[in-house]
Amino acid sequence: MIDKIIAFSIKQKMIVGFCVLLLILAGIYSAIKLPIDAVPDITNNQIQVITSSPTLSASEVERFITYPIEISMKSIPDVVELRSISKFGISVVTIVFDDKVDIYFARNQVFQKLQEAEENIPEGLGKPEMAPVSTGLGEIYQYVVRPENPGDTSFSYSELREIQDWIVKRQLLGTKGVAEINTFGGFEKQYHVHIQPNALTNYEITLSEVYEAVVKNNANVGGGYIEKQSDQYSIRGIGLIENMEDLQNVVVKSIHGSPIYLKQLADVEYGEGLRVGAVTQDGKGEVVTGIVMMLKGANSREVAQRVHEKIQEIKPSLPKGITIDEFYNRENLINKTIGTVEQNLIEGGIIVILVLLLLLGNLRAGFIVASVIPLSMLFALIMMNAFNVSGNLMSLGAIDFGLIVDGAVIIVESVIVVIAAKIHMNKKPLDKAEMNETVFNASTGIIKSAIFGVLIILIVYLPIFALGGIEGKMFKPMAFTVGFALIGALILSLTWVPMMCALILKRNLSEKENIADKIINSIKRIYTPLLEFALRTKVVIIGIAVVMLVISLFIFTRLGTEFIPKLDEGDLAYQIIRLPGVSLTESVNIGTKCEQILKAKFPEIKTIVTRTGAPELATDPMGPEISDVFVILKPIEEWTSAKTKEELVEKIQKELIVIPGIGLSFTQPIELKFNELLSGARGDIAVKVFGDDLSVLTAKGNEILKVMSSIEGAEDLSVQQLEGLPQLYIKINRDKIALYGISVDDVNDVIETALAGKGAGVVFEGDRKFDIIVKYDDEYKRDLNSVKNILVAAPSGMKIPLSELADIDVKEGPAEITRDNGKRRIVIQSNVRGRDIGSFVEELKSKVSSNVQMPSGYIVEYGGQFKNLESASNRLLIAVPVALLFIFALLFVAFNSIKQGLLVFSGIPFAIVGGIVSLLVRGMPFSISAGVGFIALFGVAVLNGIVMIAYFNKLEEEGVTNVHDRIIKGTSARLRPILMTALVASLGFIPMAISQGAGAEVQRPLATVVIGGLFSSTLLTLLVLPVLYGIFNKHVNPKYTFDKK
């Protein structure tokens, strides 16, 4: 079958050429259509259920809202994790599904279960709603709405918020790929009815009467229609409040025929809504921001581009003096990352082509092999589009052109050798028929080795498909793309390469020694004596190889481990953590002070945006004690304060440490969300303690924090603040209210209206709508005494102070209650700098188990990146041996010999030596990225062994019975292809190994392992493998001696 394909390709050159032209056109089209991203979408399949309940404390939110929702969700199939957070006024439940579940099917399941949950939530305490169809990494674009002149104070925060909500947000929501625009900062505009209690007393009107009057005086109705002759008139009753004057003139009551208007009982004015979050920028005060949340499954680069273009369209429609500034755009990172990938691919491709030209010594042959690179890439792009694999750092960045052209190198080198031999034998140039026959014979003679080599490289990538979770999503696109490119290269090796060899290689190859021959002959003059020495001292050579393997395995146990190297995003993010109970105003002041310090001290900072508390849609329900700070940096070439990001972080930390009462945790914008996605925490390491009692959890959390702080490499430590939130408790005394005939509902109604305000409908201003809030003036909640003196009306008309009806006191309560799969927990988190994560966690585990005693029923769990490393390592421990077994099976099929299969297989352990040593030399810990490098290495290590042993067998068939002669002739003949395959595969990775561009951190360990491993495996193939072959074949020729005859 394969021989027929090669014969057809050589004979029907026009058809093959036409097919390649079609491949080029389809590949170019696919390249244009290919979705581009920075990294693969690693988010899990999650749905958030958000319930706002402003009247409930954290423990009440847990009891009345979170618990019923969790119970309902537990019965949904394919739920792998259930997380929740209950804070004052809000509940967020996160349901994580298996990746195979369709997100819209999952949302349908959650929606149905929410109907059940709502029945168990007391009426009026909140309505659960699902968050938009976005992901944890969906915040792809963020912008600021601000006055054009930073010093302009003519626009209030309410006006800026109104512009964001009703002009900018509305237009952006129609953008393809946008799930939601989350507004953060500013004040929501409202119509406030500030009740005057004294006026209520004077007119003998109750608070509920005022509230009902506002609600009942704000409606339109339809009255059907009437017909008059041939016309029909719709009937409408118009009673909506349309402006401030309408609201002021609402009639509350009529006394002796005189109307009592709302303006007589209250100050009616524009006001600002209660808020739970604020945003500041560059130390110049508050701004309003919009966070663009991308639809799950959309392409972040395309969506970011559309949003950016839409922003430019919106700008002219803004009120004069207002502008929009983009401060975070994911597209910038994508462009930098893809730039790194393009640079590495181009440089790698040039190196591979130069090596081919240098060692083949034939420009036309070099062109044939080099042409396989773009053609196989175009084939890969077609398949990537077909299988919905995006072009990103992992899918495109890990391609080694040297690996792809290995099969073509073997075939073309064999064709050149056979053509030269034929010309030498015939003493004349070949004619067309002889050329076709020679190319056919040369190709079919070596194609088996090439096919088995490619199959083995494909098989070694199978363990990557066994990876699950984050690591699977990160590396599977790479395995797909490399697989596609290899399949494309194999098809081209069977068709395009033989056809082009027959078409463009010279039929009168000169026997004159060219530069390639000179290089190879120079190497042979060094190599042959070394091989002779190795054959004479076989025990020493084998011993050295085994000792090197043992030493390298020992080194491996000391390398340290990490999950995936950190991707340098180019920008910084840090968290400011304060004690629970701090006011939003104070947090804003602290955030502004930090911004002022950094802007004054570090000229490399382009802009700083501090987001304190929670946005309008609380997908991330932070309290006012936590701020996320985005530090957008200039290009590193413009830096003056520091040379590296690590140095910059240290200097920033030193400047901010002077501010009292804050904790700092440094990370990057995507990494901040990435870590939270992994474990619900934002540090590299998250230690979770599970138990029931919040006080015990807090105590044990502080003990673990103390242990963690004593470990080298621990930075940015923090423990979750579960307790310590000051709360004003108003405990209604049932005996006392009974004396006055007042109900609990009457008292609660006064508390809610007086202190928080109560919604009483909306006012429409064109398309815009604003809430009407009935409340007491702010002076009634200025301090504790003011609250105690709030008057409650009794049915008899008496006005009783609230302090007479309730016990009022300030107490500390739970700040937040977090649960994983129904169990309460506390998180102690840390970032790790200056050492690997694996050894850090091992030391932490040891110290925690010996120094922290856990009560019965309390469990410690280690999460964050370490948990994913552990999960991936466990999967690889099963998948890699299975893949190696498949490789051995293929080798057995190729050689029909267990002995020869083992000989070639010996290349794998000795390839590991170079990979481990190269990691040690470069100071890199073992990561999943390095593990994937070892997987890629196995295939190339075996490939050279196949070429060598296959040629030994061919010599044996040709009558070379003396094993020593067979080894010398075979190694001499195969030296060029072995060196070429090893050099193109390793040198093709050099740009990746030394790159300093965006995203290079993830690629470096992979490239380092392959380069080092190929160095050691090539030495094995050229020295140790011939020695082993000689030992294994002694019984074939009893008179065999290692001494040359």
What is the tens place of the pLDDT at every residue in 430-457?
888 888 888 888 888 888 877 877 888 8
Task: Kindly provide the b/e burial profile for residues 685-702, where b requires at least 16 CB atoms within 10 angstroms of the residue's own CB.
Answer: bbbbbbbeebebbbebbe
Domain ranges of the chain: 1-33+361-512, 44-133, 190-272+726-814, 517-558+897-1045, 572-725+816-864
559-572 in b/e burial notation, b at 16+ Cβ within 10 A? bbbbbbbbbbbbbb
C-alpha span between 78 and 67 (Å, rounded): 20
Q: Is the pLDDT of residue 1040 over 70?
A: no
CATH number for the region 44-133 comes to 3.30.70.1430
β-bridge pairing 258-261 and 251-255: antiparallel
Segment 3-28 mean pLDDT: 92
Q: How much of the chain exceeds pLDDT 90, in percent?
A: 26
Mean pLDDT of 771-788: 82
Q: Within 13 Å and on the Cβ side, how many CA atoms surround 585? A: 1
| Distance separating alpha carbons of residues 484 and 380, to the nearest angstrom | 5
Write down the CATH number for the domain with range 190-272+726-814.
3.30.2090.10
According to the model, what pLDDT value does residue 364 have? 87
Give residue 192's Cα distance to chain centre.
44
Q: What is the mean pLDDT of residues 397-419?
A: 81
pLDDT-derived band at 1044 (thresholds 50, 70, 90) equals: very low
Residue-level pLDDT at 384: 92
Fold of 1-33+361-512: Multidrug efflux transporter AcrB transmembrane fold (1.20.1640)
Residue 1038: what pLDDT? 40
Contact (CB, 8 A) for 460 and 935 = yes
Domains 1-33+361-512 and 517-558+897-1045 equal at CATH topology level: yes
Domain 517-558+897-1045 - what CATH class?
mainly alpha
For residue 680, name the pLDDT band (cuts at 50, 70, 90).
Answer: low
**Does the structure show a pLDDT above 80 at 679?**
no
Mean pLDDT value of segment 570-597: 90
pLDDT of residue 939: 78
pLDDT in tens, 241-251: 888 998 999 89
Inform me whether the pLDDT recorded for 203 exceeds 80.
yes
d(CA 424, CA 676): 69
Question: Residue 489's closest CA among 395, 374, 349, 347?
Answer: 374
950, 448 Cβ separation under 8 angstroms: yes
CB 302 within 8 A of CB 34: no
Task: Kindly give the pairing relationship between strand 266-272 and strand 189-195.
Answer: antiparallel
How many CA atoms does the CB half-sphere of 673 hold within 13 Å?
Answer: 17
Asked if residues 671 and 569 have their Cβ atoms less than 8 Å apart, the reply is: yes
Closest CA to 778 of 196, 133, 84, 55: 196
Any residues with CB less than 8 A from the CB of 956 and at least 6 apart, and which? 966
Q: What is the pLDDT of residue 110?
A: 94
DSSP H helices in 778-851: 784-788, 802-805, 837-851
Cα–Cα distance, 779 to 781 (Å, whole number): 5
The confidence score (pLDDT) of residue 1039 equals: 47
Q: Is residue 1035 pLDDT above 60, yes or no?
A: no
Backbone angles phi, psi at 130, to 5 degrees: -80, 140
pLDDT digits (tens, 9 = 90+) for 73-130: 998 999 998 999 998 889 999 999 988 899 999 999 999 999 989 988 988 888 999 9
The beta strands (E) that lie in 282-416 are given as 286-294, 322-329
Beta-bridged to residue 769, according to DSSP, are 764
Measured distance CA(964)–CA(949) in Å, rounded: 14
Cα(37)–Cα(410) distance, integer angstroms: 35
Which pLDDT value is given to residue 511? 59
Three-state secondary-structure class, residue 962: coil
Contact predicate 689/860, CB 8 Å: yes
Is the pLDDT at 489 greater than 80, yes or no? Answer: yes
85 SS3 class: strand
Contact yes or no for 200/206 (Cβ under 8 A): yes
Measured between alpha carbons, how far is 551 from 909 in angstroms, rounded to an integer?
12
Phi, psi of 148 (to 5 degrees): -60, -40
Q: CA-to-CA distance for 535 and 300, rounded, in angstroms?
A: 59
Place of tokens 């296959």: 950
Highest mean pLDDT among 430-439, 816-825, 868-877, 1027-1036: 816-825
The Cα 164–Cα 147 span in angstroms is: 12
Model confidence band, residue 257 (pLDDT cutoffs 50, 70, 90):
confident
Residue 57: both structure tokens together: 């404390």
Q: For residue 644, which of 995, 328, 996 has the smallest C-alpha distance?
A: 996
State the pTM of this model. 0.80
Query: What secondary structure letter does DSSP report for 1020?
Result: I
Given this model, what pLDDT does residue 509 score? 66
pLDDT score for 750 = 85
Token pair belonging to 471: 């690591």
Cα radius of gyration (the chain): 37
Using CA atoms, how far apart are residues 727 and 814, in angstroms rounded to an integer?
A: 9
Token couple for 507:
């039929």
* Type of residue at 659: I
| Range in 178-192, 692-706, 779-793 the model is least confident about | 779-793
Q: Can you name the residues that pair with 178 across neighbouring β-strands?
A: 294
Q: What is the mean pLDDT of residues 405-409?
A: 82
Which of 672 and 802 is assigned the larger pLDDT?
802
If you average pLDDT over residues 390-414, what whole number do you get? 81
Mean per-residue pLDDT, 905-911: 86
Task: Give the CA count within 13 Å in the CB-facing half-sphere of 405.
Answer: 36
Asked if 812 contacts 727 with a C-beta cutoff of 8 angstroms, the reply is: yes
Say if CB 404 and CB 376 are below 8 A apart.
Answer: yes
**CATH topology (fold) of 572-725+816-864:** Alpha-Beta Plaits (3.30.70)
pLDDT at 510: 62
- Is residue 1042 very low, low, confident or very high in pLDDT (cuts 50, 70, 90)? very low
How many Å apart are CA 837 and CA 841, to the nearest integer?
6
Largest Cα span, the chain: 134
